[in-house]
Structure 1
Amino acid sequence: MKKISTLLLVLLFACSCKYVDQKEEIDETQNATASRDSSVVNDKDENGCLASAGYVWSKVNKECVKGFSGIQLNPIDKPDNEDETLSAYVLFNEDASQAEIFLPKDTTSVVLTRKAEGKPWVLNDWQLVPWKGYVLKKGTENKFSGDGEIGKKILDSDTEQE
């Protein structure tokens, strides 16, 4: 009887160790899958903006915005530009005292300030001039311009593309 109970005890111990090892393997597999899945979904920047969906942090509006949802300014040398990645975009704060410029191929924005209505928004050598829409200048060189309407335009049409 003693041998049988010892044998049962050894078998019980062996089976329980195998169960624990299998459970640890399952947990490790689940953790690896979860971390791999979360890296795809969790591409938020330091402000919580979902970069893969085109959101960036607006310094003047203090929220995540789509940078290309503002006023589109096309390069001066390509006024009929259809490639949105070559355009600059402008967002204004509530009282329009600040203009935030999102430049192409730049991950940060530039915030320009104006002193009075009708005056340009300025920061160092950047200027946003309200003239036939807007003209963005760096120093004395005109870089971008746009008609002042929000949204991407369809060429040869009076309507905006939604």
Structure 2
Amino acid sequence: MKNLLIVIAITSIFISCKLNDATDEEVKAPVKDSTIFGADKDDDGCLASAGYTWSKLNKECVKAFTGIQLNPASDAATEDETLCAYVLFNEEGDQAEIFLPDDKSFIVTKGTSDKLWVFKDYQLIAQNGYQLKKAGQVVFSGDGEIGSKVSGSDNPDAQ
């Protein structure tokens, strides 16, 4: 009986010593995730995670992708909305803000005709929808409908 108690005591000592051999990294408490959802506001106070960006034209946070979508001329059939430019007009229609895929935007102002808005070497032309030209070359074009374009349909009978 005494021998059994000695074996149990020695086994307990070895087991408890093994548990104390944990490395410093194993002993450290897990770090709480301090991420606060919705706390990713930009310098203008727009909530980027919700798709908002600052509009220089409207002086407020807007969802640029709710404007007129212009697809890149090099890949007009793209469904990748991150490669597209978007156009938002002011209420009068004499100015529009162009949001480029690289998160830059600029304002074009109505030119000499009702179908032309210009800024430096950019031209927005209302022609079979809209075309955005830079230095005379078409860089983006679209059908002029507002909002994102989705090809196909959930309804297989839709034609």
TM-score (norm 2): 0.70
Partner of 2:119: 123
Letter of the structure 2 residue corresponding to residue 146 of structure 1: G
Q: Do structure 1's residue 110 and structure 2's residue 106 form an aligned pair?
A: yes
Query: 3-state DSSP class of the match of 1:41?
Result: coil
- Give the fraction of aligned pairs with identical amino acids, expressed as a percent: 57
CA contact (8 A) 2:96 2:108 kept: yes
Partner of 1:136: 132
Unaligned runs of 5+ in 1: 1-31, 158-162
2:97 to 92, 100, 103: 100
Q: Do structure 1's residue 47 and structure 2's residue 44 form an aligned pair?
A: yes
How well do the aligned residues superpose, as a CA RMSD in angstroms? 2.1
Task: Give, in whole Å, the separation in 1 of the partners of 2:86 and 2:113.
Answer: 20
Letter of the structure 1 residue corresponding to residue 74 of structure 2: D
Task: Give, in whole Å, the separation in 2 of the partners of 1:33 and 1:50.
Answer: 24
Task: Give, in whole Å, the separation in 1 of the partners of 2:47 and 2:98.
Answer: 19
Shift of 1:41: 3.4
Q: Which has the higher helix share?
A: 1
Unaligned runs of 5+ in 2: 1-30, 154-159
Shift of 1:119: 3.8
Q: Report how many residues are paired.
A: 123
Query: 3-state DSSP class of the match of 1:99?
Result: strand
Partner of 1:9: none
Q: Deviations over 1:99-130 (max 9, x none)?
A: 100101x2231111113552411010011001
Q: Deviations over 1:46-101 (max 9, x none)?
A: 21100111100111111111111110000112111100011000000110111100
Within a 5 Å distance, the mapping from 1:79-98 to structure 2 comes to 79-98=76-95
TM-score (norm 1): 0.69
Letter of the structure 1 residue corresponding to residue 70 of structure 2: L
Task: Give, in whole Å, the separation in 2 of the partners of 1:136 and 1:37.
Answer: 39
CA contact (8 A) 2:38 2:47 kept: no
